[in-house]
Amino acid sequence: MAESEAEEDDVERALKIVIVGDSNTGKTGLAQRFAQHTFPQKYIQTVGVDFYSRRIQLPNNISVLLQIWDVGGHNISSPKMLNTYIFGAHAVLLVYDVTNTQTFENLSDWIQIAKKASRQLEKPFFMALVGNKTDMEHRRVVRIERHNKIAEQHALEPYYVSAKTADSVELMFKTVAAEVLGLRLSKAEQEWNITVVQAQIPSTDPKHLQAQHSRLANNASPGGNQQNPGQAGPSASNLSLKEAANAVVANAGNETLPGGTGGGGSISPKSTPNSKRIVLNRNSAVCSIQ
């Protein structure tokens, strides 16, 4: 009996995870960030479907091979082909861009196709709602309330991630795999992948703080011009310190450091005694200043 159980444990589990959603929502970025620990520097539209894979370790020393199917956004116009890609999936991730309302509203079409495909299976696959690009929190247009409402309405597991900074990407894929297999990640396993960003935000000199705040607000505004501050968008006074902090995260995202197998890591501009820790909160998709 023990021998047969050992043999069963040696059988590698493989899970098919399909990523769908509109074009330019960061689906390929998510797949590459998780499978290869990289982030594409230039946008190239996925034609058809691309494949990625990575082996992970789950609780109880369970080894799982995740086969990631990155489906091009144009496939929404070909439901038959889309059904072919989704067939046999263990999980489907419905991805949208938190800075683009249209990608969120178009999810209704993706959800409808995914649900129809799921009903044809003996065991319905796991479905998740993924808000990507949280590193651009200062440009968010899809509110958390709308995200949660759609997730609850369609029985989708809600997630917020940033493929660019790697925030919560590792945790999301591991959690999805664990859910499919009926496992639970420990609290420590759930929290270890929170991305910590260090940024120089002086707090002792009010004048220095105001100047820094103004600079960040200028960079954060849609019309802001780093080289020509005079061409900035809205006034700094229109942005809160939290929004300014989020601008630090967005700007620092270009300097993401490798985080080992976890794909996490931290972003560390030059530290000073007055530096603050800016912690990304996965559940609220905003920063807190510590």
Rounded CA-CA distance 63/283 in Å is 27
If asked whether residues 140 and 217 sit together in one domain, one would say no
If asked whether residues 12 and 111 sit together in one domain, one would say yes
Rounded CA-CA distance 28/32 in Å is 6
If asked whether residues 222 and 273 sit together in one domain, one would say yes
- What is the model's pLDDT at position 133? 96
How many Cα atoms sit within 13 Å of 91 on the Cβ side?
A: 25
Beta bridge partners of 289: 278
- Positions of the chain with pLDDT lower than 50, given as ranges: 1-8, 196-204, 224-242, 244-245, 248-290
- What is the model's pLDDT at position 78? 78
- What is the model's pLDDT at position 120? 81
- What is the model's pLDDT at position 221? 52
From first CA to last CA, the distance across the chain in angstroms is 54
Per-residue CA distances from 184 to 58, 110, 117 (Å): 9, 28, 26
Rounded CA-CA distance 281/195 in Å is 9
Give ∠ CA 18-129-246 in degrees, rounded to 5: 115
Name the residue among 195, 104, 112, 198 with its Cα closest to residue 147. 104
If asked whether residues 231 and 251 sit together in one domain, one would say yes
- What is the model's pLDDT at position 206? 53
- What is the model's pLDDT at position 188? 77
Whether the CA torsion 240, 241, 247, 253 is positive or negative: it is negative
CB proximity list for 231: less than 8 A, separation 6 or greater: 223, 224, 225
Name the residue among 247, 248, 268 with its Cα closest to residue 258. 268
Name the residue among 270, 128, 274, 134 with its Cα closest to residue 195. 134
- What is the model's pLDDT at position 254? 40
If asked whether residues 7 and 80 sit together in one domain, one would say yes
Strands 276-281 and 196-199: antiparallel
If asked whether residues 41 and 175 sit together in one domain, one would say yes
- What is the model's pLDDT at position 76? 74
If asked whether residues 200 and 153 sit together in one domain, one would say no
- The single-letter DSSP state of residue 153 is H
Residue type, 19: I
If asked whether residues 64 and 82 sit together in one domain, one would say yes
The residue among 135, 156, 190 that closes a domain is 190
If asked whether residues 137 and 247 sit together in one domain, one would say no
Domain that holds residue 169: 2-190
Beta bridge partners of 95: 130
The residue among 162, 190, 218 that closes a domain is 190
- Which pair of tokens denotes residue 4? 């047969």
- What is the model's pLDDT at position 129? 98
Locate all alpha helices (DSSP H) within 37-122, ordered by sequence. 79-86, 101-105, 107-119
Rounded CA-CA distance 229/62 in Å is 54
Number of domains in the chain: 2
CATH code, domain carrying 60: 3.40.50.300
Task: Give pLDDT tens digits for 209-268.
Answer: 555 555 555 555 555 444 444 444 444 334 444 454 455 444 444 433 333 333 333 333
If asked whether residues 142 and 255 sit together in one domain, one would say no
Q: Record the pTM.
A: 0.64
For residues 105 and 78, the answer to whether their CB atoms sit within 8 Å is no
If asked whether residues 160 and 236 sit together in one domain, one would say no
- What is the model's pLDDT at position 213? 56
If asked whether residues 53 and 97 sit together in one domain, one would say yes
Task: Give pLDDT tens digits for 191-202.
Answer: 765 554 433 444
- What is the model's pLDDT at position 290? 46
The residue among 166, 190, 214 that closes a domain is 190
